Amino acid sequence: MDKTVREVKQRSWMKWLWGNMQGHRVLYVTAIIMTIVYNIMQLIVPYYSGRIVTLFEEAGAKGTPLTDNLDEFILNLSLMIGLTLVRITIVYFTCMAYEYVSQHALYKIRNFLFDKIEHQDMNFYNEYRTGDLMTRLTGDLDAVRHNVAWVIKSVVDSFSLFIATAVYFFIMDWLLALCVLSITPLLFLVILRFKKASAQKHRILRDKLSNLNTDAQENISGNRVVKAFAREEYEKDKFNRSNTDYAEANMDTQRTWLRYFPVIETFANLLPVILLLAGGLFIINGRIGIGEYVSFSMLIWAIANPMRMLGNIMNEFQRFAAASKKVMEIYNSQAGIVSKENAIKHPDRFKGLIEFDHVSFGYEGGAVPVLRDISMKIEPGQTVAIIGETGCGKTSLIHMIPRFYDPAEGEVRIDGINVSDYELTDLRHNIGLATQDVLLYSDTIEGNIAYGDSSLSQDEVVKYARYSAAQEFIDKMPDGYETIVGERGVGLSGGQKQRISLARALAIKPSILILDDTTSAVDMETEKHIRDSLNELDFNCTKIIIAQRISTTKYCDKIFVMGDGRIIEEGTHKELCMKGGYYANLVELQTGLELKDGVLKDSVNMTAQLAGKGVN
Ligand code: DGT
Ligand code: MG
């Protein structure tokens, strides 16, 4: 059973690599054939050296001068030199071919892998850490390249040289060949044991490297938190632990190799000794001549070196095996959320009718229930607000619309069609989302605003910046719209980042605009400006606004109040104030006033306060 599994695995990595060599397969196979050819040609020098020595020997025995056989001597010498030059040329070109094919395969796999990662769903990003994915795209892929360029070549090298030499030995003298090769089965046993021992070590080593990269990546991207808490020393210690772990795993892997290396080396060094003993005996009893002995002894390295190399190759192969498993895992992974085969194409704008029909959802396959039987209807062009305590599921709810997640039960429909029936890119192109956690790219402000539509003119970029009340602060920046904002928008305030993110969402002229707490960090005046702009957009758009402030929600056509994954109240601001439920409490809490019959208690002081808070 175990054997079958292993065989399938072996075949699958070969098939996988072979698939990625498309376009270069002929070159690769030619390189392998030429590797075999030049290894057979390694026998040339010892063969002709043997012939020349035999010539001397025969001349010596007959007592004739060597000049009698000068032509043969020169011919042998010329062939020896000429064919060696041919062999060197072949070696040069095969090395180039291996490198060329491996680089192309690497390029292809890396692009494919990146594409795979790009099209994964949210569950994938929850599962894999950035540092681990980076390790797969860099270190692991390099191990794959190394396998194509070096490991496979070395296997062909070693085996072809070993087999060619062994055959040649048998042709020269089968008994001496048998004596010399008698220890090879033992060596193969040792190599097999080493393979087993090193596989596990390489898997551990690879995981430690991934941990190290993840620690470094998280630390660097979270540098501001580290500084804020003055936790540099703590982080240094944490990194040091990962680094030590990695170093120890490296040492452990090397120690495994060092345990087997002396055994392999001893076997390899035994070969000349056996040759000396057996060969010497055979010369004495006349079984072989000096010329044959010379050929044997000049070629003994061609048996010993492949034996030595095999350990090293196995070590590198195990590194490849551990890395390729990680690469192939991503390579063969399938995103859970993709367009259906017969998905509905919808390049045009949606009307904007959004319906949630008894939607339930939980993270981690339902283990963490978040949305419970949600039903709601948002008419085209409406502006609705979603409000509710933190962690009640607001973000999770709106993530169902662009299909970041699919509901476990029920369905979400846009214009009467289940969102999962639409072509995914058409669906998402129609939705402008300003996420709660703003991420800006290391690009100019203009580049960030035009992220969803690179064809946007500069005037349009300015227009959307104006809509989102960002124009003023951008104009004040030294390079205006050309200002580069750093990773995660370093150099901008929270409210400024939110406004750029809003402009970015508006710039694609979405038919559905979703703002997830987008104005939480802006002042009241800016918020009012944004609210007015959203009412004056020059395209039709259904708007869903998640907010915590009553000042944002009160002007909406409808308000959905969420609590513990359910819609607990819905209606207009007035209706909800009348209801005297969660929303009404919130109004009182945020204004510091009391509601009576849906109206805030009137008094001179209170009116003044309300005017100040923008609530009445
Ligand atoms: P907020 O933004 O603080 O006002 O909270 P909401 O209402 O936007 O909450 P939401 O939808 O982000 O989270 C609802 C619950 O789901 C909360 O208990 C945390 C959990 N949750 C959110 N995202 C994930 C996720 O990616 N994986 C898992 N396992 N749980 C999540
Ligand atoms: Mg949220």
Going by pLDDT thresholds of 50, 70 and 90, the confidence category of residue 84 is confident
> Looking at the 3D structure of the chain, how many domains does it have?
3
Asked whether residue 1 is assigned to any structural domain, the reply reads no
pLDDT over 90, % of the chain: 53
Tokens 């205006």 sit at which residue? Answer: 480
Asked if residue 3 belongs to a domain, the reply is no
Kind of pairing between the strands at 512-516 and 431-434:
parallel
Residue 476: domain span: 435-509
User: Ligand 1 center to residue 371 CA distance, Å?
Assistant: 10
**Residue 307 confidence (pLDDT) above 60:** yes
Give the position, in ligand 1's atom list, of the atom nearest the Cα of 126. 26
| Residue 561 to residue 552: CA distance in whole angstroms | 14
Those residues with Cβ within 8 angstroms of residue 567's Cβ, 6 or more apart along the chain or in another chain: 374, 375, 376, 560, 561
pLDDT at 593 over 80: no
* Binding site membership of 437 for ligand 1 (Cβ less than 6 Å): no
Residue 497 resides in a domain: yes
Distance 545 CA to ligand 2 centre (A): 11
Query: Same structural domain for residues 263 and 137?
Result: yes
Ligand 1 atom nearest 565 alpha carbon:
14
Residue nearest ligand 1's atom 11 by CA: 393
Shared domain check, 238 and 149 = yes
Mark whether 233 and 378 lie in a shared domain: no
Q: 376 with 236, same domain?
A: no
**11 pLDDT band (50/70/90 cuts)?**
low
If you take atom 16 of ligand 1, which residue's CA is the nearest one? Answer: 370
User: What residue owns the CA closest to ligand 1's atom 21?
Assistant: 363
Compute the average pLDDT of residues 422-429: 94
Rounded distance between C-alpha atoms, residue 431 and residue 436, angstroms: 15
Q: Is pLDDT larger for residue 452 or for residue 61?
A: 452
pLDDT digits (tens, 9 = 90+) for 503-558: 999 999 999 999 998 888 788 888 888 888 888 888 999 999 999 888 889 889 99
Q: Report the nearest atom of ligand 1 relative to the CA of 517.
A: 2
Q: Is the pLDDT of residue 604 over 50?
A: no
Q: Is pLDDT above 80 for 128?
A: yes
Measured CA angle at 408 (ends 406, 414), to 5 deg: 45
Query: Of the residues 509, 525, 559, which one is the last residue of a structural domain?
Result: 509
Residues 367 and 283 in one domain: no
**Residue ending a domain, choose from 449, 475, 509:** 509
Q: Is 392 in the pocket of ligand 1 (CB under 6 A)?
A: yes
The answer on pLDDT for 10 being more than 80 is no
Q: What is the pTM of this model?
A: 0.79
Nearest bound ligand to the CA of residue 547: 1
Average pLDDT taken over every residue of the chain: 88
Supply the residue whose CA is at minimum distance from atom 29 of ligand 1: 363
Question: Looking at residue 449, what is its pLDDT?
Answer: 93
pLDDT value at position 489? 58
Read off the CATH number of the domain in which 599 is found: 3.40.50.300
Q: Is the CB of 529 under 6 A from ligand 1?
A: no
Nearest atom of ligand 1 to the alpha carbon of 368? 29
Ligand nearest to the CA of 389: 1
Ligand 1 within 6 A of CB of 370: yes
pLDDT at 3 (0 to 100): 42
Q: At 369, give phi and psi (nearest 5°).
A: -65, 135
Please work out whether the CB of residue 126 comes within 6 Å of at least one atom of ligand 1: yes
pLDDT band at residue 487 under the 50/70/90 scheme: low
3-state class of 320 per DSSP?
helix
488 sits in the region (left: phi over 0; alpha: psi -120 to 50; else beta) called: left
Per-residue tokens: 463: 């227009």
User: What angle in degrees, to the nearest 10, is found between the helix axes of 70-118 and 44-62?
Assistant: 170
